Amino acid sequence: NETITIKGKQFFILKIIGRGGSSKVYQVLDHKKQLFAVKYVDLEEADAQTVESYKNEIQHLNHLQLYSDQIIKLYDYEITNSYIYMLMECGNLDLNTWLRNRKTVNPLDRKFYWRNMLEAVHTIHNHGIIHSDLKPANFVIVNGSLKLIDFGIANRLQPDVTSIMRDSQVGTLNYMPPEAIKDTSSQPGKSRSKICKKGDVWSLGCILYCMTYGKTPFKSITNQIAKLQAIIDTSYPIEFPDISEKDLLDVLKSCLVRNPRERISLKELLDHPYLHHSP
């Protein structure tokens, strides 16, 4: 069986969890049979800017360990000119897979997971990080609670079409905020518009919408251009079928406001009755 050595410690590969363009995530065991996730990044093809973005993500992940349990644990890492190894906490399941496997989400799980997501994103915002590409695949369930596994800082290494991380929802538009689509200031391609924290609130709202209604607000529009148009079209109404949890309905309507200035803030979401009142 294959092994990986990080800072002199040997790990036994159990299986591959996911793979991207030049990155792979393995489930491994150490000599004490403790389970870990190891993220491997091949830097041979990476340009200096990409290497820099990975180092930046690792520095932030390493620093934010101290601030919240809802950030995935990073135990150690090894960076050379040709590869990166990150030794991380291993979860049971990513939220995207978990959502895909179930029709409905029970209200208690939904509220608990919402609290976890808010805490994780509040933590990165407090340290000046705006994810700007939040989706269920960025969260993993570890012993029943959700943890954020990446900050959207590291460039998406050019995914070779064959092994694109199919479960990681790379490139989905279903969680994209209107202002990111309309934002003409950022030059096309490379730099996603990280214009403001409210964009992450819209994406989180789309995740909660999916946990409430079983699909994201614009899921039914399959044509990508039509989908982008609907997201920015204020005359295209987002449907909010009536539900018994009125606080939840208010959270959804407050997150999915197209004007970022009128959209609820993360701070207000943390104080919202949905998190504090029983059912």
* Site membership for ligand 1PF, residue 94 (CB under 6 A): yes
Which residues make Cβ contacts (< 8 Å) with residue 92, sequence separation at least 6?
140, 141, 142, 143
For the bound state, the minimum distance from the C-beta of residue 100 to ligand 1PF, rounded and expressed in Å, comes to 9
Q: Please, what is the Cα angle at 244 between 238 and 249, to 5 degrees?
A: 35
Which H or E element spans position 23? Answer: strand 23-29
The 211-230 site mask, x for binding ligand 1PF (CB under 6 A), equals --------------------
Q: Of these, 35, 93, 243, 270, which contacts ligand 1PF (CB under 6 A)? A: 93
- CA nearest 123: which of 56, 200, 179, 55? 200
- Should residue 72 be labelled a site residue for ligand 1PF when binding is judged by CB under 6 A? yes
- The phi, psi pair for 165, rounded to 5°, reads -70, 80
Beta bridge partners of 16: 26
Nearer to ligand 1PF by Cβ, of 25 and 118: the residue is 25
- The answer to whether 264 and 255 have CB atoms below 8 angstroms apart is yes
Q: Helices 107-126 and 198-213: crossing angle, nearest 10°?
A: 170
Shortest distance (Å) from residue 23 CB to ligand 1PF: 9
**Binding of ligand 1PF at residue 84 (CB under 6 A)?**
no
- Taking CB under 6 A as the criterion, the residue among 50, 168, 174, 254 binding ligand 1PF is 168
Rule CB under 6 A: say whether 76 interacts with ligand 1PF: no
The CB-of-44 to ligand 1PF minimum distance in angstroms stands at: 21
By CB under 6 A, the count of residues binding ligand 1PF is 19
Residue whose CB is less far from ligand 1PF, 58 or 266: 58
Q: In terms of C-beta distances under 8 Å and separation of at least 24 residues, what long-range contacts does 185-194 make, across chains too?
A: 190/155, 192/132, 192/133, 192/152, 193/132, 194/130, 194/132
- Smallest gap from residue 128 Cβ to ligand 1PF (A): 22
Give the Cα separation of 233 and 225 in Å (integer).
Answer: 12
User: What CA–CA distance (Å, rounded) separates 18 from 26?
Assistant: 7
Give the active site residue among 30, 69, 133, 250. 133
Give yes or no for a contact between 216 and 177, defined as CB atoms under 8 angstroms apart: no
The C-alpha atoms of residue 137 and residue 72 are separated, in whole angstroms, by: 13
**Among this protein's residues, is 250 annotated catalytic?**
no
Residue 268 beta carbon to ligand 1PF: minimum distance, rounded to whole angstroms: 29
* Calpha distance 91→74 (Å, rounded): 12
Which residues is 139 bridged to in the sheet? 148
* Site for ligand 1PF contains 97 (CB under 6 A): yes
Q: Which stretch binds ligand 1PF (CB under 6 A): 82-90, 101-109, 205-213, 227-235?
A: 82-90
Q: Which two tokens stand for residue 57?
A: 């993500």
Question: Which listed range, 3-11, 46-54, 92-100, 240-248, lies at the site for ligand 1PF (CB under 6 A)?
Answer: 92-100
Other beta carbons within 10 angstroms of residue 81's beta carbon come to 8
| Binders of ligand 1PF in range 1-40 (CB under 6 A) | 17-18, 25, 37, 39
| Nearer residue to ligand 1PF within complex by CB, 82 or 92 | 92
What amino acid positions are annotated as catalytic residues?
A: 133
For ligand 1PF, the binding residues (CB under 6 A) are 17-18, 25, 37, 39, 72, 88-91, 93-94, 97, 137, 140, 149, 165, 167-168
